[in-house]
Amino acid sequence: MNVAGFIFLLSLHLGVFQIGYGRNASTRPAVVNIGAMFNFDSIIGRVAKIAIDEALKDVNSNSSILKGTKLSVTLQDTNCNGFLGMVEALRYMATDVVAIIGPQCSVVAPIISHVASELRFPLLSFAATDPTLSSLQFPFFVRTAQSDLYQMTAVADIIDHYGWKEVIAIFIDDDWGRNGVSALNDKLAERRCKISYKVGIQPDSSVTQGAIMDILVKVALMQSRIVVLHLNQIVGFKVFSVANHLGMMGNGYVWIATDWLSLVLDSESPLPSETMDKIQGVLTLRQHTPDSDRKRAFFARWNRITGGSPQLNAYGLYAYDTVWLLANSLDAFFNQGGVLSFSNDSRISSMAGSALHLEAMSIFDDGVLLLKNILLSDFVGLTGPLKFNSDRSLILPAYDIINVIGTGIRQIGYWSNYSGLSTVSPETLYTRPQNRSSANQKLYSVIWPGETLSKPRGWVFPNNGKLLRIGVPNRVSYKEFVSQIRGTDMFKGFCIDVFTAAVNLLPYAVPYKFISFGDGRKNPSYTELVNKITAGEFDAVVGDIAIVTNRTRIVDFTQPYVSSGLVIVARLEKERSGAWAFLQPFSRRMWIVTGSFFLIVGIVVWILEHRINDEFRGPPKQQVITILWFSFSTMFFAHRENTMSTLGCLVLLLWLFVVLIINSSYTASLTSILTVEHLSSPIKGIQSLAATNEPIGYQEGSFAERYLSEELNISRSRLVSLGSPEAYALALKRGPGNGGVAAVVDERPYVELFLSSQCTFKVVG
C-alpha cells in the first residue's frame, strides 16, 4: 500500500505539472541552452564562430565554473536581415534558451530586443555598436563591445586636436549609420565644430560606382576637406576607389574611417597592393584591447587552429569573452538559487490555435535575475576588464588610432575616455591622475594623403557657396595700396595682401569676390564706398580706408595695420648765406642780450676792483675805455687787467665759463650755416596755415576736405583737390602765388610714400 500510494502521488504531481503553465527544470541542469545569431559569411561572423566554439570548449572543460553544467550553443545565420533575425529569435523561444549571443548587426538588434524584453531573455551582442541601443528602451540588450558613442567621441577629439572646424560625413543610410553620425554631430558641437554636409549611401552592397561618383562630386564642391566614412567594408572600398579616380586621395584631403577599415586590415592582411594604394594616408580606429600574456597565448592558439586564416580581430576577442561573461553570470545565477523556469505568456496564449503556433514561446521567469548578474559582472578577459557602468556600457572605453602607410599600418596613438588622445597606452594613464588638458593631447606624426607630413588645412574655397561681395576702391593714385590689374577683375596692393594673408590664416573657408568701386578716372569717395555696406550692395570693403568717427557709426573696422593721422606737407625754401652770415648763428635778441651782459660784467668787475686795483683807476675817460675793453676782451680770453679782489675773481671765473659756452655754440652754428644747405618753410603748423588766406591742397576722395572745412572752418574756396603725387609736387612748387598751393593736408601713409621720392618737401607742424 505504501509503494502504491507513493506511485500514485508521484503520478498526480507529474500530471499537475504538465497541466499547468510552467515547465520547470532542476536548479543545476546538465545542459543550458543558449543561442548565437550573426552573419556567418561576414568578416566578423567567420571569426566569431571559431571564437565562440573555442570559448565553449574552455568553459565546458573548466570544472571551477558551472560545476558540471554544460553550455550548448545553437548558431543561426541572420545575414544582417531584420526579418530573418526576428524569425530566428522566435524559433529560439520555442527551445527555451536562456540568452542569445548577438545579434551582430545593429539594424537587427532593435527588433530582437523587443522580443527579448517581452520574453525576458538577455541579448549579449559583441558587435552591434549603435549608440542608441544603450537606451532604457531595450533593458535586456547588453553590449559586450564598445559603443559607437565613444568611437565618435574619439573622431571628434581628433578633429578638434588638429584645429579643423567642419567635416563631411558619408554613412550607410540605416539605423546604425544614421545614429552613429548623429552621435558624431553631437560630439563635434560640444567642441564648436560641425558636420557641414552629410550624405547617406544605401546599405545594399549593390550600390553602383555611378551613384558613389555623384555623391563624391558633390563632396568635392564643398569647402571642407575632412571626410568621415561610417560605412561597411564593401561600400567603403568602393568609395575609396571612386575617390582615388577623382583625385580626392591627394594633398589637402583628410579621410577618417571608423573601425570597419581597421577590421578589414586586421582580418585580411596583407591586402592587395592595388587596394592599399587607394587608402594611403587614411586614419582609422580600432577597439583597443590591452596586451597581456593570455591574449598573446590565445593568438598563438588561434594560428595553430586556423593556420592564420581567418585572422583574429578585436570582435573575435569580444565574442570569446562574451561566452565567458555568460558562463560566469549563469554560475552566479545558480548560486543565488535561480532556476531555469519558463511560463507561457497569457497574451500569446490567447492566440493559440493559429497557424503561427505562438503558444510555443515562453517567458524566462528568472530572466531578470540573470540580467542582473550579467550587469554585475566584474572579471578580466582577453579584451581587458569586463565591467559595466550605470549606462550598461563597458568601463574604460579606448581605441587605437591607425595611419595607413605603404603596405601596412602604423599606430600613431590612442584615445581613451579617461585622458583623450595620447601616445601612451591607456593602461599606463589609468595609474595617473586624469588630465584632459589640450597640452596633454598628443599624437605621433601622420603621413597624410599625398604622402605629406604637413597637416592639411582642412578646407578650400567652395565652388558652390555664396561668395561675399567685397568692395575695393579703384584708385588712380597711390596704387601701391590698392589697384585693379588692368584688363582683369583682380586687384593687387598692400591692402589686398593683408586681406588675403588674414583670410588664409582662418581655420575655415571664406569665399569672396572683389567688386570694383570707382570709374578709374579719379579716386572714388571712400565715404560713399562705406555707405554701400549699409545699403546692402557690399558685404565688406577692403582698402586704404581711414577710420573716421562718422564711418565707425555705421560699420565695423579691423585693427589698423598702418600709421594714421593727417599731416601737412609744405615746400622747403633754401636759406642762403651771404656777407653777413656770421650774424646768423644768433638772433637779434640774442645779440642784444649777449652784448648787455658783456657791459654789465665789465661794470661789476670795475666796481669791485677800482678801489684796490690801480689798473682800474685814472681819468673817467680812461676808466670807461677800461670797462669796455675788459668786457669785450673776455670774449677771446684776451683781457690784460688782473683782478685782485676775491669777489672780482669769482665773477670773472663764472663769466669766463659763460663765455666759453657762448663761443662754442656760436662756432658750431656758424659752421653748420656755412657747410650745410638749410631748408625751411614759413608754415609752422595747422594753426599758421589756417590763419592765412592761401590755398590748401588735399587728396581727391579723402575725408581731409570735410575735416578742413567742417572741423577747422576753412573756406571751401581755399581747398584744392589734387588727384596724384605728381599733382602734389606741381602745386607745391608753383606756390600760392602761381596757381599752386601753400601746403597739402593728407593722411600719413600717402605722405610717407610721396616723400620717399620727393626731397624738396617735408612734413611741418
Tens of pLDDT, residues 280-295 = 999 999 999 999 999 9
Q: How many CB atoms lie within 10 A of CB 159?
A: 23
CA 31 → CA 17, 142, 397, 669, distances in Å? 21, 23, 34, 119
Cα gap 89→122, rounded to integer Å: 12
Say what percent of the chain tops pLDDT 70.
87
- Bigger pLDDT: 87 or 500? 500
Alpha-carbon torsion angle 640, 645, 650, 651, nearest 10:
-60
Residue 18 pLDDT > 50: no
Q: Each residue of 135-178: pLDDT tens digit?
A: 788 899 999 999 999 999 999 999 999 999 999 999 999 989 99
Task: Output the nine-digit C-alpha cell for 750.
Answer: 600717402
Q: Which of 82-86, 331-335, 569-573 has the highest mean pLDDT?
A: 331-335
The answer to whether the beta carbons of residues 278 and 241 sit under 8 Å apart is: yes
Long-range contacts (CB closer than 8 Å, 24 or more residues apart) made by 55-64: 55/319, 55/320, 55/321, 55/322, 55/323, 55/324, 56/323, 58/324, 59/323, 59/324, 59/327
Q: How many CB atoms lie within 10 A of CB 616?
A: 23
Q: Which residue has 575655415 as its cell numbers? A: 508
- pLDDT number for residue 709: 86
Long-range contacts (CB closer than 8 Å, 24 or more residues apart) made by 64-69: 65/327, 65/328, 65/331, 66/32, 66/327, 66/330, 66/331, 66/334, 67/28, 67/331, 67/334, 68/28, 68/30, 69/28, 69/29, 69/30, 69/31, 69/32, 69/330, 69/334
Residue 359 pLDDT > 60: no
Task: Output the nine-digit C-alpha cell for 391.
Answer: 549606462
Q: Each residue of 214-270: pLDDT tens digit?
A: 999 999 988 899 999 999 999 999 999 999 999 999 998 999 999 999 999 999 888
Q: How many CB atoms lie within 10 A of CB 601?
A: 21
What one-letter code names the amino acid at 212? I
Residue 23: burial class (beta carbons within 10 Å; 0-12, 13-18, 19+): middle
The answer to whether the beta carbons of residues 392 and 399 sit under 8 Å apart is: no
CATH topology of domain 679-764: D-Maltodextrin-Binding Protein; domain 2 (3.40.190)
Cα 339–chain centre separation: 57
- pLDDT number for residue 4: 42
CA-closest candidate to residue 597, choices 520, 681, 507, 658: 658
Task: Report, in angstroms and rounded to the nearest whole number, the Rg of the chain calculated over CA atoms.
Answer: 48
- What lies within 8 Å, CB to CB, of 125 at 6+ separation is 101, 102, 103, 104, 109, 133, 141, 142, 143, 144, 145
Residues 18-38: what's their mean pLDDT? 66
CATH topology of domain 148-291+396-440: Rossmann fold (3.40.50)
- The model's confidence at residue 579, banded by pLDDT at 50, 70 and 90, is low
Q: Each residue of 466-491: pLDDT tens digit?
A: 788 999 998 888 888 898 888 888 89
Q: Each residue of 175-216: pLDDT tens digit?
A: 899 999 999 999 999 999 999 999 999 887 778 889 999 999
Domain ranges of the chain: 31-146+293-393, 148-291+396-440, 468-562, 581-675, 679-764
- The model's confidence at residue 742, banded by pLDDT at 50, 70 and 90, is confident
Residues 571-589: what's their mean pLDDT? 67
- pLDDT number for residue 89: 66
Residue 26 pLDDT > 60: no
What one-letter code names the amino acid at 631? S
Residue 392 pLDDT > 60: yes
- The model's confidence at residue 344, banded by pLDDT at 50, 70 and 90, is confident
- The model's confidence at residue 494, banded by pLDDT at 50, 70 and 90, is very high
* CATH code 3.40.190.10 for 468-562: yes
- pLDDT number for residue 59: 93
Residues 407-425: what's their mean pLDDT? 94
Q: Each residue of 642-680: pLDDT tens digit?
A: 777 777 778 777 777 787 887 788 788 777 666 654 555
- Are 31-146+293-393 and 148-291+396-440 equal in CATH topology? yes
3-class secondary structure per residue, 59-118: HHCCCCCCCCCEEEEEEEECCCCHHHHHHHHHHHHCCCCCCEECCCCCCCHHHHHHHHHH
Cα gap 69→30, rounded to integer Å: 5
- Bigger pLDDT: 759 or 67? 67
Greatest Cα pair distance, the chain, in angstroms, is 184
Residues 627-638: what's their mean pLDDT? 70
Cα gap 337→365, rounded to integer Å: 13
Cα gap 255→240, rounded to integer Å: 9
* CATH code 3.40.50.1100 for 31-146+293-393: no
At 123, phi and psi to the nearest 5?
-110, 125
Residue 638 pLDDT > 70: no
- pLDDT number for residue 48: 93
Which of 48-62, 176-190, 714-728 has the least mean pLDDT? Answer: 714-728
- The model's confidence at residue 583, banded by pLDDT at 50, 70 and 90, is low
- What lies within 8 Å, CB to CB, of 217 at 6+ separation is 246
Which of 241-250, 466-475, 507-516, 582-591 has the least mean pLDDT? Answer: 582-591
Question: What residues are paired with 160 via a beta bridge?
Answer: none
- pLDDT number for residue 584: 67
What one-letter code names the amino acid at 88? E
The per-residue DSSP string of 27-70 comes to: SS-SEEEEEEEE-TTSHHHHHHHHHHHHHHHHHHT-TTSSTT-E
- Bigger pLDDT: 10 or 596? 596
Q: How many helices (H) and strands (E) does the chain have?
A: 25, 30
The answer to whether the beta carbons of residues 128 and 104 sit under 8 Å apart is: yes
Q: Each residue of 611-625: pLDDT tens digit?
A: 777 667 777 777 777
Cα gap 305→53, rounded to integer Å: 11
- What lies within 8 Å, CB to CB, of 549 at 6+ separation is none
- pLDDT number for residue 623: 73
What one-letter code names the amino acid at 429? L
- pLDDT number for residue 594: 78
